Amino acid sequence: MRVAVIGAGYVGLIQAVGLAHIGHDVVLAERDAERVAAISAGRSPIYEPGLPELLSATLADKSLTVTTSNIDAVAGAEIVFLALPTPQGNEGEADVSAIFLVADELAPVLPEGCLVVTKSTVPVGTNLEVGVRTGRPVASNPEFLREGSAVTDFMKPDRIVIGAQDRSYVDKLVELYRPIDAPILVTDLVSAEVIKYAANGYLAARVTYANAMANVCEAVGADVRDVLLGIGYDHRIGFSFMRPGPGFGGSCFPKDTRALVKLAADAGYEFSLMRGVIATNEEQLARTFAKVVAAAGGDVRGSRVAVWGLAFKAGTDDVRESPALAIVGRLLDAGADVVAFDPQATVPGISAAPDAMAAVDGAEVLLIATEWPQFQRCDLQAVAARMSGSAIVDARNLLDPTAVKAAGLTYTGVGR
Ligand SMILES: NC(=O)c1ccc[n+]([C@@H]2O[C@H](COP(=O)([O-])OP(=O)(O)OC[C@H]3O[C@@H](n4cnc5c(N)ncnc54)[C@H](O)[C@@H]3O)[C@@H](O)[C@H]2O)c1
């Protein structure tokens, strides 16, 4: 099928390469010319395992082409996917202006009968409005990929959600995704829009529950890892998204939880549970920062702090709303001398060491902020030898406290 994808970010790039890989003829449009040049040359602008190989293969067999022109991309398309950013607006709502801008831009040139499908996470009513603006049939097909395993998630999704007003639109998408073996949930437009927020709100709440339980464990002297194992074996509860840490972050959970509160409030429902999740998450960040300050002796001014990890989670180079960055920001504001190392992410304005060991040189405190597995395998004796102080704040519970103490270092984890 001839398909256009507008927006070559995490979602659009994976969608375009994935659809090309399963046999469709895809044109990917992106307004950032540098990004287009990189993708056209076979260089992935994001770190995502498996993506470079698929990108090269789909460019080589010409199933994927890339352009800076949205208008050129939709010529002859049967389906147009919108994979545009929906950042947080001033009052917590999702800002859908990029979606409407592109809908207005494309309206005069969209082929007759072409289906316009939103992949972006959008509030209730957005798809209907896209339909009004484009004068074309619309469908909602929210994205559930996880950064770090996005290619696998495209090929083997837990489910495909399709929201549409008319069955014939659904059939087109079912046909498109035929090579992919996954349950397909067909629903109305509004329910599809809500499903995406409901999923992210729930996952954020699970992470927050684990964080709050860790804080209870710290208060009463329990080990949160055993507590979460003890409840996770209960099949009603399980283990995923139940790892305590410095608070959730990333490009989706923070903005989507706020947008969920806002869309509920706009419809007359006060979502106090979700407000609690957001507030508890902010407290978790503050708590992690306070642990670093305590580890530095009560004041970080002038202290050298090594930070391992900048990405919002392991497996990605994405630093959007990363808890690591939020804590580094507070440390810098408090006068700390921060040196960071992340295997994939670099951030302008934050001093970066060439490797994890170089980051700890002369550090009074080491903060582990992202759960990259290589940090778990570090040589603790070498860390102790290279630090000037002896405190490790392990905001991801990556290290074994006994081994840390055996190396002559002090250990502060989360809920243990
Ligand atoms: N990143 C994720 O893990 C993820 C997962 C599920 C859903 N989502 C949702 O998908 C949407 C996109 O997320 P993302 O992470 O891919 O965003 P992103 O910021 O990485 O990518 C968006 C891309 O669209 C481009 N763009 C913006 N305006 C444009 C225009 N007028 N014409 C052409 N291109 C334009 C940007 O330059 C950018 O490359 C958001 O609604 C997000 O909430 C993201």
Per residue of the chain (416 residues), give pLDDT as tens.
999 999 999 999 999 999 999 999 999 999 999 999 999 999 999 999 999 999 999 999 999 999 999 999 999 999 999 999 999 999 999 999 999 999 999 999 999 999 999 999 999 999 999 999 999 999 999 999 999 999 999 999 999 999 998 888 999 999 999 999 999 999 999 999 999 999 999 999 999 999 999 999 999 999 999 999 999 999 999 999 999 999 999 999 999 999 999 999 999 999 999 999 999 999 999 999 999 999 999 999 999 999 999 999 999 999 999 999 999 999 999 999 999 999 999 999 999 999 999 999 999 999 999 999 999 999 999 999 999 999 999 999 999 999 999 999 999 999 99
Who contacts 13 (Cβ-Cβ below 8 Å, separation ≥6)?
28, 39, 44, 45, 46, 51
Give the type of residue at 306.
A
Give the mutation target among 14, 31, 72 for probing the ligand 1 site: most ligand atoms within 8 A of CB.
Answer: 31
How far away, in angstroms, is 83 Cα from ligand 1 center?
A: 5
Residue 165 has what pLDDT?
A: 86
Query: Which atom of ligand 1 is found nearest the CA of 119?
Result: 10
Is beta strand 64-67 parallel, antiparallel or unpaired with respect to 337-341? unpaired
Where do the DSSP E strands lie in 114-167?
115-118, 138-140, 160-164
Query: Which atom of ligand 1 is found nearest the CA of 122?
Result: 41
Domain boundaries, the chain: 2-186, 196-245+255-278, 284-412
Burial class, 187, CB count within 10 angstroms (exposed 0-12 / middle 13-18 / buried 19+): middle
Of 292, 309, 323, nearest to 211 by C-alpha is: 323
Domain 2-186: CATH architecture, name and number where available? 3-Layer(aba) Sandwich (3.40)
Residue 168 has what pLDDT?
A: 87
Query: Which atom of ligand 1 is found nearest the CA of 318?
Result: 1
Distance CA 271, CA 205 (A): 13
Who contacts 270 (Cβ-Cβ below 8 Å, separation ≥6)?
264
Distance CA 56, CA 393 (A): 41
How far away, in angstroms, is 389 Cα from ligand 1 center?
A: 42
Distance CA 213, CA 343 (A): 30
For the chain, how are helix, strand and coil distributed in percent, rounded to 5?
Answer: 45, 15, 40
Nearest CA residue ID for atom 22, ligand 1: 9
Distance CA 8, CA 14 (A): 8
Is 26 near ligand 1, meaning CB less than 6 Å away? Answer: no
How far away, in angstroms, is 6 Cα from ligand 1 center?
A: 9
Residue 167 has what pLDDT?
A: 86
Residue 330 has what pLDDT?
A: 98
Structure tokens belonging to residue 395:
């905001």
Is 10 near ligand 1, meaning CB less than 6 Å away? Answer: yes
- Cβ atoms within 10 Å, residue 40: 16
* Terminal C-alpha separation, the chain: 54
CATH 3.30.300.20 corresponds to the domain 196-245+255-278:
no
Is 15 near ligand 1, meaning CB less than 6 Å away? Answer: no
Is 95 near ligand 1, meaning CB less than 6 Å away? Answer: no
Is 148 near ligand 1, meaning CB less than 6 Å away? Answer: no
For tokens 């243990």, name the residue. Answer: 416
| Topology (CATH level 3) of domain 284-412 | Rossmann fold (3.40.50)
Within this chain, domains 2-186 and 284-412 share the same CATH topology: yes
Residue 25 has what pLDDT?
A: 98
The residues pairing with 412 across neighbouring beta strands, listed in sequence order, are: 393
How far away, in angstroms, is 12 Cα from ligand 1 center?
A: 7
For tokens 């209907």, name the residue. Answer: 128
Catalytically annotated residues: 252
How far away, in angstroms, is 338 Cα from ligand 1 center?
A: 31
Q: Taking the mean position of all CA atoms in its chain, how far away is CA 59?
A: 26
CB 170 within 8 A of CB 139: yes
Alpha helices in 22-166 (DSSP H): 33-40, 51-60, 70-74, 97-106, 126-134, 150-155
Is 29 near ligand 1, meaning CB less than 6 Å away? Answer: yes
Distance CA 99, CA 84 (A): 6
Distance CA 329, CA 338 (A): 10
Is 83 near ligand 1, meaning CB less than 6 Å away? Answer: yes
How far away, in angstroms, is 101 Cα from ligand 1 center?
A: 14
Residue 84 has what pLDDT?
A: 98
Who contacts 59 (Cβ-Cβ below 8 Å, separation ≥6)?
40, 42, 65, 66
Is 31 near ligand 1, meaning CB less than 6 Å away? Answer: yes
CB 255 within 8 A of CB 321: yes
Is 200 near ligand 1, meaning CB less than 6 Å away? Answer: no
For tokens 């087109």, name the residue. Answer: 172
CB 252 within 8 A of CB 316: no
